[in-house]
């Protein structure tokens, strides 16, 4: 009966993950996958010979209660932080399981099992500490970029060698010492922190999906150690989907994963090439309202600035006013806009924007030349024409939204700062581009008021 429940939960988990690939079925997929995990946990509690039921129930109650409370109160703008934390906790759990298995390992335990346990522990610990660092960066509790003054990548390489060396030594031992295992786990945690600390905000979506893949892989490996097929399938499916998403995100930035990890965009000024020509031209909310009111087609391009300001509801209100005035409205989403994969899609969905009005980069780019006004809300690097024209630019070759090809561009941004890549945005200096400074929520509110006054 337990094996049958595991099998049914595995099938339901895969079906739930498949349903999450489409916005309209995502909620159903979440419920299906959640029910499958609940069934798997229930089956595990009834496994013959299992001990410490009280501690398991207490752990589930405390962890589940904390997660429910956090999920209910988290703001949509803080969703990347929550995703990072949950990724890390899964990896940390896998690492803890591996450590427990190694502590209780007997000499006759196959070396293959011990080696897999070590590998799962390393991957899980790296996912845990890396996710904690990512959370701290996103939360503003840690410097955006930190790396050793010299030889940071060498330190990462040396820590990797030491981690696996100590881990495999412990695995080959007939009775691994607890101090040796503590050193092993400590080195693995340090490795995750060293890998993630230099990563700037521009690369954060890739890093979060990468750590998610690590968590899934660690869970799958520990499922093999525990001979639990449910954990193996669930972990490998999550690991595989996370890996695929990581490479898709890296491709969207035209940055191989090795460069994201070992040559990150630090956010420090790195212009390269000639200085940007032209001047910044400012619009008032009144000017912006007039231009939008008499346009035929408008494309909104949201970015992290919209998330910070929580302006998605105002943006949708503005879009609805324009549609009532006969203006065609669409939304363009860059794959790496925001701080995690799908960040902008989640915010727009929360505001009630219909799915058929939201388009990905490949679907919308051809429409910009026929667009009267493109409204950029807090985005920067993903609309920078330097990615197409400036070979010396750190973001050269990255696919961007062709906002500069619209007849007029209105950019709403908090100030005159640069994007996370640390370079000036050539778009802002184009003759047909005007900037409206201020928090996106306040600016959009004023534009709405002016638009209503126009009638």
One domain for residues 293 and 430: yes
Domain that holds residue 110: 74-262
More confident: 139 or 274: 139
The yes-or-no verdict on residue 271 having pLDDT over 50 is: no
The yes-or-no verdict on residue 421 having pLDDT over 80 is: no
What is the number of structural domains in the chain? Answer: 2
One domain for residues 233 and 303: no
One domain for residues 91 and 235: yes
Query: Which pLDDT band holds residue 270 (cuts at 50, 70, 90)?
Result: very low
Query: Which pLDDT band holds residue 384 (cuts at 50, 70, 90)?
Result: very high
Question: Is residue 184 in a domain?
Answer: yes
Question: Is residue 344 in a domain?
Answer: yes
**What mean pLDDT do residues 82-106 have?**
85
Cα 316 to Cα 80, 355, 448, distances in angstroms: 22, 12, 11
Burial 115-154 (b: 16+ CB within 10 A, else e): bbbbbbbbbbbbbbbbbbbbbbbbeeebeebbbeeeebee
**What mean pLDDT do residues 393-404 have?**
89
The yes-or-no verdict on residue 273 having pLDDT over 60 is: no
**pLDDT score recorded for residue 275:** 61
**pLDDT score recorded for residue 20:** 86
Tell me the C-alpha distance between 406 and 400, whole Å. Answer: 14
One domain for residues 229 and 345: no
The yes-or-no verdict on residue 106 having pLDDT over 70 is: no
Q: Which of 197-211, 240-254, 324-338 has the highest mean pLDDT?
A: 324-338
More confident: 205 or 344: 344
Query: Which pLDDT band holds residue 220 (cuts at 50, 70, 90)?
Result: very high
Question: Is residue 33 in a domain?
Answer: no
One domain for residues 143 and 208: yes
One domain for residues 249 and 291: no
More confident: 258 or 329: 329
Question: Is residue 48 in a domain?
Answer: no
More confident: 438 or 418: 438
CATH number at residue 345: 3.40.50.1220
* Mean of per-residue pLDDT scores for the chain: 87
Question: Global pTM?
Answer: 0.81
Q: Residues 9-33: pLDDT tens digits?
A: 989 988 998 898 877 788 899 999 9
Query: Which pLDDT band holds residue 449 (cuts at 50, 70, 90)?
Result: very high
Question: Is residue 17 in a domain?
Answer: no
Task: State both tokens at 24.
Answer: 């309209």
Question: Is residue 2 in a domain?
Answer: no
Q: Report the candidate in 294, 318, 314 with the shortest Cα–Cα distance to residue 306.
A: 314
The yes-or-no verdict on residue 452 having pLDDT over 70 is: yes
**What mean pLDDT do residues 367-380 have?**
95
**What mean pLDDT do residues 191-211 have?**
85
Q: Residues 286-331: pLDDT tens digits?
A: 999 999 999 999 999 999 889 888 899 999 999 999 999 999 999 9
Query: Which pLDDT band holds residue 161 (cuts at 50, 70, 90)?
Result: very high
The yes-or-no verdict on residue 214 having pLDDT over 50 is: yes
Q: Which residues are catalytic?
A: 381
Report phi then psi at 332, rounded to 5. Answer: -115, 130
Question: Is residue 417 in a domain?
Answer: yes
One domain for residues 191 and 290: no
Question: Is residue 25 in a domain?
Answer: no
Q: Residues 33-71: pLDDT tens digits?
A: 999 989 998 888 888 888 888 999 999 999 999 999 988
Q: Identify whether the C-beta of residue 212 lies closer than 8 Å to the C-beta of residue 80.
A: no
Tell me the C-alpha distance between 250 and 247, whole Å. Answer: 5
Tell me the C-alpha distance between 296 and 322, whole Å. Answer: 9
């Amino acid at each position: 009966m337990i094996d049958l429940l595991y099998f049914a939960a595995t099938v339901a988990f895969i079906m739930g993950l498949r349903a999450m690939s489409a916005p309209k079925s995502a909620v159903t997929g979440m419920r299906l996958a959640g029910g499958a995990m609940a069934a798997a946990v229930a089956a595990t509690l009834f496994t013959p010979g299992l001990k410490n039921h009280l501690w398991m129930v207490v752990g589930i109650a405390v962890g589940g209660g904390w997660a429910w409370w956090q999920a209910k109160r988290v703001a949509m703008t803080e969703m990347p932080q929550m995703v990072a934390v949950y990724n890390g906790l899964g990896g940390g759990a896998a690492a803890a399981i591996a450590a427990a298995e190694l502590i209780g390992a007997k000499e006759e335990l196959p070396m293959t099992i011990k080696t897999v346990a070590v590998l799962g522990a390393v991957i899980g610990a790296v996912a845990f500490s890396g996710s904690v660092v990512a959370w701290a960066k996103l939360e503003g509790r840690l410097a955006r970029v930190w790396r050793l003054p010299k030889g940071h990548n060498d330190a990462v390489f040396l820590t990797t060698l030491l981690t696996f060396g100590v881990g495999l030594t412990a695995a080959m031992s007939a009775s691994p010492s607890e101090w040796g295992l503590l050193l092993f786990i400590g080195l693995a945690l340090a490795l995750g922190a060293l890998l993630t600390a230099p990563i700037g905000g521009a690369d954060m979506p890739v890093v979060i999906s990468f750590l998610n893949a690590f968590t899934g892989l660690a869970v799958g490996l520990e499922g093999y150690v525990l001979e639990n097929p449910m954990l193996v399938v669930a972990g490998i499916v999550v690991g595989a989907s996370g890996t695929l998403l990581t490479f898709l995100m890296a491709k969207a930035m035209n940055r191989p994963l090795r460069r994201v990890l070992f040559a990150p965009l630090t956010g420090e000024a790195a212009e390269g090439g000639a200085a940007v020509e032209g001047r910044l031209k400012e619009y008032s909310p009144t000017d912006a309202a007039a231009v939008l009111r008499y346009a035929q087609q408008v494309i909104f391009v949201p970015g992290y600035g919209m998330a910070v300001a929580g302006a998605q509801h105002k943006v949708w209100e503005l879009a609805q006013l324009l549609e009532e005035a006969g203006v065609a409205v669409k939304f363009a989403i860059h794959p790496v806009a925001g701080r995690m994969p799908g960040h902008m899609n989640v915010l727009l969905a929360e505001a009630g924007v219909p799915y058929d009005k939201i388009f990905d980069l490949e679907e919308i780019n051809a429409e910009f030349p026929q667009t009267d006004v493109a409204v950029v809300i807090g985005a920067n690097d993903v609309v920078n024409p330097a990615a197409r024209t400036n070979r010396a630019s750190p973001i050269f070759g990255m696919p961007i939204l062709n906002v500069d090809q619209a007849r007029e561009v209105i950019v709403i941004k908090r100030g005159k700062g640069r994007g996370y890549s640390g370079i000036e945005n050539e778009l802002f200096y184009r003759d047909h581009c005007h900037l409206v400074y201020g928090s996106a929520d306040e600016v959009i509110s004023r534009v709405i008021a002016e638009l209503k006054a126009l009638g």
